[in-house]
Structure 1
Amino acid sequence: MAERTATVASSSGLHARPAKLFVQAVKETGVPVTIAVPGGPDQNAGSILTLMGLGATQGTVVTLKAEGEGADEALDKLVAFIETDHDAE
């Protein structure tokens, strides 16, 4: 299983627009991905409700995990997404 950590860069955290874009990015990978905040359980990263429920604000470190063919590439792409401030675009 591949695993990466990333720090949320968007000023609104993983809420609203960044969450929607992240879910789209997860689905585009074609790989099941989980996300967790420190002390929290692994949850489906492809669910906007899950992302918004994490309470991941700017500066929160999240852990992403994926398994299967293409998992490393998928996580690299998703880490880059999380570490970009999508509110500044």
Structure 2
Amino acid sequence: MKKRTVEITNETGLHTRPGNKFVKLAKSFESEILVSNESGKEVKGTSLLKLLSLGMKKGSLITIVANGKDEDKAVEELTDLLGNLTD
């Protein structure tokens, strides 16, 4: 299991368009992907609705956990995506 925390820096946070990018990327890995917010709410990273329910705004700290064969690559690529969001 690998995990990493990243800060959302995008002015508008994580909304539908970048959320779709995240979900598409998360589904490309064999590993199970979980995402949690600062209050500890955890959701599957392959569900857009659940991901959006975390309320990721600018400055939010989000933790990504991957468990499986490609967990290192999954965590690296998904945290890079969240850390570099643009509208």
Q: Structure 2 length normalisation: TM-score?
A: 0.91
3-state SS of 2:20 partner: helix
Unaligned runs of 5+ in 2: none
CA distance in 1, matches of 2:71, 2:45: 13
CA distance in 2, matches of 1:31, 1:10: 26
Percentage identity across aligned positions?
29
Cα RMSD (Å): 1.1
CA distance in 2, matches of 1:85, 1:44: 19
CA distance in 1, matches of 2:41, 2:53: 12
TM-superposition CA deviations, 1:17-40 (whole Å, max 9, x none): 011111011011232100000122
Give 1:82's aligned residue: 82
CA distance in 2, matches of 1:25, 1:67: 15
CA contact (8 A) 2:13 2:58 kept: yes
Unaligned runs of 5+ in 1: none
